[in-house]
Amino acid sequence: MPTVDELRPSIMSAAQGAATLNLAFIGVTNGLFEALAERGLGAEALAERAGVDAGYVRRWCEAAFAFGMLEVDAADAADASSPRFTLTDLGHAFRPSTPGTLMPFAIQSVLGAHMSERAAGLMKTGERPGEVVLGERATILPWFGPMLEASFGGFFEREILPSLELYRELEARGGVAVDLGCGNGWYLRKLVTRYPHVRGVGLDGFEENVRHAEATAKQAGVDARLSFRTGDIYHFAVEEPVSLVAMNRALHHVWERRDEVFGILRDAIVPGGAVVIWEPRWPDALASLRAPRQRPMAFQNLNEHVQGNHFLRPAEIEAAMREVGLSPRTYLFAEGAEAVIVGTRAA
């Protein structure tokens, strides 16, 4: 059995990893990495460019330098009092605009700390305040959409989209896809960008998400084929025939009322249409949670508990689909950490 002193180095390394991500969070949410993207700046100039306080920026620069995210401009190395800082490769990797950005890890880290603090206190009483807890930190809130998009958008395009024939069928029939709990709308935006005959309708309970979805669809030039609206999944209805209803990381938010939800999903789609549910896959065996791809899900499920939710096993989702007459099939991705369950309505 290892001694405490033998365990210490790996925990010290984990603690420094957490500090790196906390510093990265400050840089991301204040636009500091992007402000340094093109040229080196001293703390004062960086603060001015990002529109934030110079005293804080100076301390952040020193710390970000210590943790390898910033470098001191070679010409300024001798003048330690007011050096100009540039981004290292690690600093560039945290820029939200870098393809495959590491930004989500920084957001997740601070969100995880916030949720842990809430769970620690709530455990005493068992209270589960719900999704309101997610909105308690003003600096985190605007980053949910970008974080989810950066985490899963590329994965969707690379792994899921090519694997499921139903997207090609949707394109062939020029159908309408609905995304319930659409967040910032990235899923429909990517779908209609790839398939020029598909149209999409997104619905989310948060008005701010819907505004963001509309703005990003416009920027991407696909707003003519997309519409977004604020509303509740339980009262969802569209005026035209729908070929596909998707829910991405949204079903576990409404699982308590699954009988109602699956009735709504089944009734929304045309004969031959499909319901496509993408969820983290809660494993059948506890031992699977030790796998590096599954471990973060175990931590997040504690955070979900605070919100009144829990992650689901694909078999539970399949059973709920069968109850309403849909024929389910499960597809696994990411070494089994992600599940897409497709429920088809008979033609």
Size of site (CB under 6 A) for ligand SAM = 17
Out of 110, 233, 274, 340, which residue is the one contacting ligand SAM (CB under 6 A)?
Answer: 233
Rounded to a whole number of angstroms, the minimum distance from the CB of residue 246 to ligand SAM is: 8
Query: Site residues for ligand SAM, window 111-140 (CB under 6 A)?
Result: none
What DSSP assignment string belongs to 222-263? -GGGEEEEE--GGG---SS-EEEEEEES-GGGSGGGHHHHHH
Euclidean distance between CA atoms 217 and 228, whole angstroms? 10
> Cβ of residue 210: shortest distance to ligand SAM, in angstroms?
9
Output 41 or 180, the one with its CB closest to ligand SAM: 180
Cβ closest to ligand SAM, residue 91 vs residue 145: 145
Q: Please select the residue that binds ligand SAM; options are 30, 86, 248, 294, rule is CB under 6 A.
A: 248
The binder of ligand SAM chosen from 44, 53, 127, 232 (CB under 6 A): 232
Nearer to ligand SAM, 30 or 108 (CB): 108
Burial of 161 (0-12, 13-18, 19+ CB in 10 A): middle
Cβ neighbours around 106 below 10 Å, total: 25
Return the H-helix or E-strand segment holding 139.
none
Q: Please say whether the dihedral angle defined by the alpha carbons of residues 187, 193, 195 and 200, taken in this order, is positive or negative.
A: positive
Per rule CB under 6 A, is residue 46 in the interface with ligand SAM?
no
Give me the least distance between CB of 114 and ligand SAM, in Å please.
16
Among residues 169, 187, 181, 270, which one has the least CA distance to residue 231? 181
Nearer to ligand SAM, 102 or 213 (CB): 213
Least Å distance, CB 182 to ligand SAM, is 5
Two structure tokens written together for 101: 């950005």
Nearer to ligand SAM, 47 or 103 (CB): 103
- Looking only at residues 186 through 225 of this chain, which bind ligand SAM when binding is defined by CB under 6 A? 186, 204-206, 209
- Piece in contact with ligand SAM (CB under 6 A), picked from 64-72, 73-81, 244-252, 313-321: 244-252
Tell me the two tokens of residue 255: 């699982």
Minimum separation from the CB atom of position 220 to ligand SAM (A):
16
Spatial distance between the Cα atoms of 87 and 36, rounded to a whole number of angstroms: 6
Q: What angle do CA 332, 323, 346 make, to 5 degrees?
A: 75
Q: Which is nearer to ligand SAM, 60 or 186 (CB)?
A: 186
- Of 45 and 247, which CB lies nearer to ligand SAM in the complex structure? 247
* Helix 103-122, helix 295-306: angle, nearest 10: 50
Q: Which is nearer to ligand SAM, 233 or 274 (CB)?
A: 233
DSSP secondary structure string for all residues of 59-95 = HHHHHHHHTTSEEE-GGGTT-TTS-EEEE-HHHHHTS
Q: Looking at 170, 177, 178, 182, which residue binds ligand SAM (CB under 6 A)?
A: 182
d(CA 65, CA 295): 30
Chain residues binding ligand SAM by CB under 6 A are: 148, 152, 181-183, 186, 204-206, 209, 232-233, 248-250, 253-254
